[in-house]
Structure 1
Amino acid sequence: MGQIQALRGTRDILADEIGYWQQIEAIASDRLAKAGYAEIRTPIFEQTELFERGIGEATDVVGKEMYTFSDRGDRSITLRPEGTAGVVRAYIQNKLQAAGGVQRLWYAGPMFRYERPQAGRQRQFHQIGVEVLGSDDPRADVETIAIAHDILQRLGLQNLHLDLNSVGDLEDRQRYRQALVDYLSPYRADLDPDSQDRLTRNPLRILDSKDRRTQEIAADAPKIFEHLGDRSRQHFDRVQQLLADLGIPYQLNHRLVRGLDYYTHTAFEIISDDLGAQATVCGGGRYDGLVAELGGPSTPAVGWAMGVERLILLLQQLGGTVETSLDFYIVSRGSRAEAVALQLACQLRQHGLSAELDLSGSAFGKQFKRADRSGAKACLILGDEEVAQDRVQLKWLATGEQQAIARADLFDKIEQLRARLDR
């Protein structure tokens, strides 16, 4: 029988990469907790109708990219292609609005879209996202952008810029949609096939086409900003002023419309200049009509999502390494020494220190090589001689300094050891 492989568009996350994932998740979790966001975890699959109604049947995501199947109850089920619709469903179903005030929520986990796999884009991909439900204040828009900016800065990422636009409210978009169709219709034959199809179904998405000829035609298309009503203009002006007050640079991109139908008013993307075609590392905006569209009360909302795989590509390009948190690597040889080494590892962990126990049973020389590669700060060495004398050899791996310590003294001096490990 042939070897079973991971499906195309999925990949294993191995030990040499997992540190990047943990670093991103830890920084995001810390910064979001400090901003008063509560974590929410929603199911990986939902009723297909949730995404058809929430994202929009005319979008590429719903029309071409969803993993949809019938379960044994003949219900149409879809693996989530994005996080917002599921969070909004949970908000409505669990009556979170009954608590009053603004709900600040964040999530992390896998999403699924049937796309052509490439660097930074997989069919199973991972996002970290935030949703703020219950505020139409422009400060909510800017707070979410500022938090994303903070997370990316703390990750040490470089060569990023913020693209900003307003897609207005429903009335603004209807006016703009007609103006866009009127402009593009004479060029229909020159548009790429996808854009020809979008001209009647979702013409705003034509502005996001990657086809060169379509981009040339769209360059002179009417701008949505020219069709915004007074309220939308005031909201967008306030967003820009608040960003300037915070010192967060941005550039207006009148062709930025995002790919999902639920967006209103503010739309934004944080883009890397180092990622080629798949350049967006964070994208989001306001979606004031989505909660009502999914059967809940009229609720303004804003949010964003970050692509974890793309963040990792950027971190790897920076050439940095993720620091290990391992304090001790424990080497032992001989039946009595191996049993004591296990006890020692458990005792160190109970004292809040990290310890990896070598389980190979191989010669000391091979175990020492693994200790050097482990990234541990210190190595504890036990042979039957050390057990007979009730002691352990402590070696500091960075300097090679080594000393014999009585096992009882090791834990009496635990705070001294902790201070040196923390240097």
Structure 2
Amino acid sequence: MAIQRPKGTQDLLPGTVEQWQYLEETMRCVCREYGYDEIRTPMFEATELFQRGVGQTTDIVKKEMYTFLDKGDRSMTLRPELTASVCRAYVENKLYGQPQPIKLFYIGPMFRYERPQSGRFRQFHQFGVEVLGADQAVVDAEVISLVWDLYKRLGLTKLEVHVNSVGCPVCRPKHRVQLQEFLTTRRDGLCKDCLDRFDRNPLRILDCKNPACQAATIGAPTTRDTLCEDCSTHFEKVLAFLEAAGVVCRVNPRLVRGLDYYTKTAFEVMVEEIGAQSAICGGGRYDGLVEEIGGPPTPGFGFAMGMERILAALQVQHKLPEEKPRVFAMLVALGEKAQIEGFSLMSALRTQSIPVSMDLLNRSLKAQLKAADRQGARYALILGEQELEEKVLLIRDLTLGEQNQVPLRKAVEEINKMYQRGVNA
């Protein structure tokens, strides 16, 4: 039996990879314009980083991490998310000593052992942004605006931005007591995970997708009911900035997010038509995370979005760009001498950054012209025994069906002119 790829992973083949490149290019462009720099961290980290950073009560840490012992008997984990890694890099590389805030973005693969389904994989890819060293409400609004701007540039529609404030260490304990009192008589309706969360982190019960838990929490006190003055003022400022930026958002008191480190602002972006899991982006403020992993007190705000889910949304809404031809011209060489001369010509064209390919299987003229058509080439550059004798190159326009010939010594110059006309058209 042939070896197959691991469950929950995928091969990104030619034709699909170009869609990823388009998405990544758009993300990098937006980040450059907003003044964010790229960061790249290791694929695996010490397990303790995620236990302390993501939180012991989260499903990620309890159920989904790929954890292993290395040859030094150290516990390592393939990164399930990147915020904790970015904060670790911020501390380890003493970025807190640089002018603040530090504005970073990342693109890369993450790993979670969960049940594969539409839009969810065990190896998946995230794009995210982190701002470290600033606690002002305008930071929250700028990051959410960046997300909104990105989706608009991609052409996505039917979007909803949900925002909430989950409070802070000052006001959250009051909500915790109220929520536990409310749920005490409803514990029989909670799932096993939420029963475990009841004492450890009852706020997470509001985030459970189990229908029974959702029914049990109808009418439950929300974090907005108990916000302290600082959190309430901060949230009102965030909403004002978002309105000023033209970001349409909906205040969702039940939005709490699934990670333990969030404080104050939390947000998600929802889109229709991509299945039950409609969230394509989520994030919020995490003012205690850097300190939790051993750094100085440092405010932070960020988000992560699954790239597979964005591509799924773009596909459903028919917003992916049409595939561009891979080559400008296909060299059709007939015979060994023509192949050698043609190879030299092709090499010269490539030094001019002209996308050109040639047949590698010694096929017939007809087969090579078909191959040129499959690759989307605009021109076929035909070189056979007769052309060699006459020292010319036959150029056939595969779109118009016209052809002409040019002297071989001027072929590079003429083809370059043709290419530049096409690029600038």
Farther off after superposition, 171-180 or 40-49: 171-180
CA, structure 1 residues 177+391, in 2 after alignment: closer, same or farther (shift >3 Å)? Answer: farther
1:359 positional shift: 1.5
Residues 205 and 97 (structure 1), Cα distance of their counterparts in 2 relative to 1, 3 Å cut: same
Q: Name the aligned partner's letter for residue 156 of structure 2.
A: L
> In the superposition, relative to structure 1, how do residues 323 and 156 fare at CA in structure 2: closer, same or farther (>3 Å)?
farther
Provide, for residues 234-289 of structure 1, a one-character-per-residue CA deviation record: whole Å limited to 9, x for no partner: 11111111111111101111111111111111111111111111211111111111
**Matched residue SS, 2:9:** coil
With the length of structure 1 as denominator, give the TM-score of the two structures. Answer: 0.96
1:395 aligns with 2:396: yes
Question: Whole-Å Cα distance in 1 between the matches of residues 224 and 273 of structure 2?
Answer: 29
| 1:222 maps to 2:200 | no
Q: What residue number does 1:420 align with?
A: 422
CA deviation map 1:180-212 (0-9, x unaligned): 111112100111222222212221121122222
**1:406 maps to 2:413:** no
What is residue 358 of structure 2 aligned with on the other side?
A: 357
Tell me the percent identity. 44
| Structure 2: distance between partners of 1:109 and 1:194 | 30
- Find the aligned partners of 1:9 and 1:412 in 2 and give their Cα distance: 50
Structure 2 equivalent of residue 54 of structure 1: 53
Q: Provide the rounded CA distance (Å) in 1 between the counterparts of 2:150 and 2:358.
A: 35
Alpha-carbon contact 2:328-2:419 (below 8 Å) kept: no
- Check whether the contact 2:280–2:309 (CA below 8 A) recurs between aligned residues: yes
- State how far apart, in whole Å, the 2-side matches of 1:202 and 1:240 are: 27
Amino acid aligned to 2:224 = F
Letter paired with 1:318: Q
Task: Report the aligned-residue RMSD.
Answer: 1.5
Aligned match of 2:342 = 341
CA contact (8 A) 1:107 1:130 kept: yes
Distance 2:332 2:317 in 1: 34
Q: Partner amino acid for 2:362?
A: G
Matched position secondary structure for 2:171: helix
Q: What amino acid sits opposite 1:254 in the alignment? A: P
The structure 1 segments of at least 4 consecutive aligned residues displaced by more than 3 Å after TM superposition are none
The match for 2:379 is 378
Question: What is aligned with 2:125?
Answer: 126
Cα distance change, pair 421–58 in 1 and its aligned pair in 2 (3 A): same
Specify the alignment match of 2:301 in structure 1: 302
Contact map agreement 2:15 2:323 (CA 8 A) in 1: no
Listed as ranges, the matches of 1:307-322 within 5 Å are: 307-319=306-318, 320=320, 321-322=322-323
Code of the aligned partner of 1:180: L
Matched residue type, 2:419: L
| Change in 2 beyond 3 A, CA 1:197/1:96 | same
Which residue is 1:88 aligned to?
87
Deviations 1:58-95 (A, max 9, x none): 11110111011111111000000001111110110011
- TM-score (normalised: structure 2): 0.95
Distance 2:228 2:325 in 1: 54
2:345 and 2:60 mapped to 1: Cα distance?
A: 54
| Residue 152 (structure 1) shift | 1.6
Distance (whole Å) between structure 2 residues aligned to residue 289 and residue 263 of structure 1: 8
Deviation at 1:143, TM superposition (A): 1.2
AA in 2 matched with 1:71: D
Verify: 1:78 aligned to 2:102, yes or no: no
> More displaced, 392-401 or 13-22?
392-401
Structure 1, 111-120 or 350-359: larger mean CA deviation: 350-359
User: Which residue matches 2:113?
Assistant: 114
Q: Which region of structure 1 is more displaced relative to structure 2, 74-83 or 24-33?
A: 24-33
Alpha-carbon deviations, 1:157-188, whole Å to 9, x = none? Answer: 22221111111212222221221111112100
Contact 2:163–2:250 (CA under 8 A) maintained in structure 1: yes
Alpha-carbon distance change, 360 to 46 in structure 1, aligned in 2, over 3 angstroms: same
- The runs of 5 or more residues in structure 1 that have no matched partner are none
Provide the rounded CA distance (Å) in 2 between the counterparts of 1:326 and 1:152.
30
Of 121-130 and 184-193, deviating more is 184-193
Counterpart Cα distance in 2 of 1:380 and 1:298: 65
Q: Which one-letter code corresponds to 2:364 in the other structure?
A: A
Aligned equivalent of 1:28: 27
Q: 405-414 or 73-82: which moved more?
A: 405-414
Distance 2:40 2:82 in 1: 10
Stretch deviating more after TM superposition (134-143 or 74-83): 134-143
Q: Tell me, in whole angstroms, the C-alpha distance in 1 between the residues paired with 2:141 and 2:389.
A: 66
2:164 matches 1:165: yes
